[in-house]
Structure 1
């Protein structure tokens, strides 16, 4: 029987590269891979469902579960993770010197439902006493104007979200003091260093993020891998096949990072960085699978609910194809 032909869109990560270049092949699947930017992949999948499988914003996927047709189903592989303390930027003249100073301020975020700001708002609430409803959020393009939410939102009245004016960008507005802070995924062009008009709230962010991980065990996932539900329902075996292949691809990256005869990355102290990371986070510092990530996912789902994005508090098991919930050795 011929392999099932599927299309998959994902950014060109080291941990997915073996799947993208064909050196790892999912069982029973002939996979056509497209290496597109995350913004393009998300837009095309969420709006038009152009791919059979794609990388997807964890937050957007969670919001999609409340749509009547529930168009996607996920597998517990996380191509993108990021500590986001470094992603809070403030205007140098805003009077914001510590997290509690954000209360009552004007805060930009490209999209309210975007995963990075969901984590940032949750961490600021849990760790620093900055309630989600204590600021006004301004949404729009960070560097290019006229960005809108990819998914229609129905937020409670206590959450104040206002689109910025046509032609404006959040990066420029932050530099010019039209907003006080920015929660984002990409570093804004108006940030030119700690002595410029825009600075990070946590300039020395690595110790802050390490302390956060040491206390909570949370390494925030940003993206998951989602399958169009009708594709999955016709061939439910593909969830396991894709998951196994993705984990095998990441295993090759773990192996590559261990090499000392020659560096496979262009970071001069990559070996030292790896050893330091393993000392703080263990050998499997980028874990996949349901069991290892259940607690972190439930924290994110609580944030989604508290921030008005989820209509009820989901359990992490509800996110994934049931075939992928049980751990097995590859």
Structure 2
């Protein structure tokens, strides 16, 4: 008899085999609910609507040191270098990272995972302390966005809301804010507004150099189980983890196919080779051990930035069943 599980997750090439049924978790009747990440994160964090869901790593860590409503699997559906997510108003005169100190910087939410990474790398690499910036929160393209989880921030971290009816993209374009940290590209930049530019342009050489020096390919999202679902049937954690791993393996096999182009990228094979030359053959690993350094760095940032109530160890993030070697 199978257990019915509803999983809310964006559509990714590495999870497509779970969505279309080519991979089925053992003992699970899985319903894959493809949704944009913002909707999934809000509904899971605020209302705990789903049995399992993709979740912001930051939101998960914030909750884990407080009421711990979820338990994670070491599955990372989204990873992204974030130097390219720093935008500046040309009117601000910001030409180098150190000039961000003392400025007003827009963030959709202080606790967004991308923003944790950006603040951390700016502090580590460019001597821009987290507390040196005033963070202005609000919606990127629609007004009124607020933090989806409650935060207890240190008194030296200044966070204030954007004015009513305003958007961060609009405020950046007019110079009302000096800069923006954003995982999603602001419309003003996408339209070619000359009053907005990326701080690091081109960003790829900077991000590649960052990886060479640090070994960090930032993790953005994890997959979580609602804790009551996990406690009722703890074997679910391992079953789902193994299924995600199988789906990832199928994706890797597909991306290597050259007989027919599965993806609309004519030089995909060259891009894969370039990526592997820098990041290694298994450049998007699941599991704890190959990601320990990345996770530890993030957890240090989350604690230093006032998001985690204590400094966590990477092992504390995941269901113990997912850290055991499989029985063969």
TM beyond 0.5: yes
Scaled by the length of structure 2, the TM-score of the pair is 0.98
1:203 is displaced (CA, Å) by 1.0
The correspondence of residues 81-230 of structure 1 with structure 2, limited to 5 A, is: 81-192=79-190, 196-230=194-228
The alignment status of 1:240 with 2:228, answered yes or no, reads: no
Cα deviation 1:261-282 (Å, max 9, x = unaligned): 0111101111110011111111
Provide the secondary structure at the position in 1 that maps to 2:5.
strand
Which residue of the partner structure matches residue 60 of structure 2?
Answer: 61
Q: Is the 8 A contact 1:290 1:327 kept in 2?
A: no
Question: Which consecutive residues of structure 1, in runs of 5 or more, have no partner in the other structure?
Answer: none
**3-state SS of 1:126 partner:** helix
The answer to whether the 8 A contact 1:194-1:200 is kept is: no
1:234-289 deviation line (CA, Å, top 9, x unaligned): 10001010000001101111001111101111011111100111111111010110
Pairing partner for 1:285 from 283, 286, 290: 283
Q: Secondary structure of the residue that 2:66 maps to in structure 1?
A: coil
What do residues 73-128 of structure 1 show as CA deviations (whole Å, max 9, x unaligned)? 00000000000000000001111101001010000000000000000000000011
Give how far 1:195 is off: 7.2
Pairwise CA RMSD: 1.2
Shift of 1:66: 2.4
Aligned residues: 328
Residue 164 and residue 28 in structure 1: after superposition, are their counterparts in 2 closer, same or farther (change >3 A)? Answer: same
Q: Deviations over 1:166-192 (max 9, x none)?
A: 211000000000000000110000114
Give secondary structure in 2 for the equivalent of 1:14: coil
Task: Indicate conservation of the 8 Å contact 1:66/1:310, yes or no.
Answer: yes
Q: 2 CA distance for matches of 1:225 and 1:126?
A: 28
Q: Any idea what the Cα deviations from partners look like across 1:177-230, whole Å, max 9, x if unmatched?
A: 000000011000011477711000001111100011111110000000000000
Give the corresponding residue for 2:249. 251
- In structure 2, runs of 5+ residues without a counterpart are none
SS in 1 for 2:189: coil
Partner of 1:294: 292
TM-score (norm 1): 0.97
- Cα gap change, 1:191 to 1:327, in 2 (>3 Å): farther
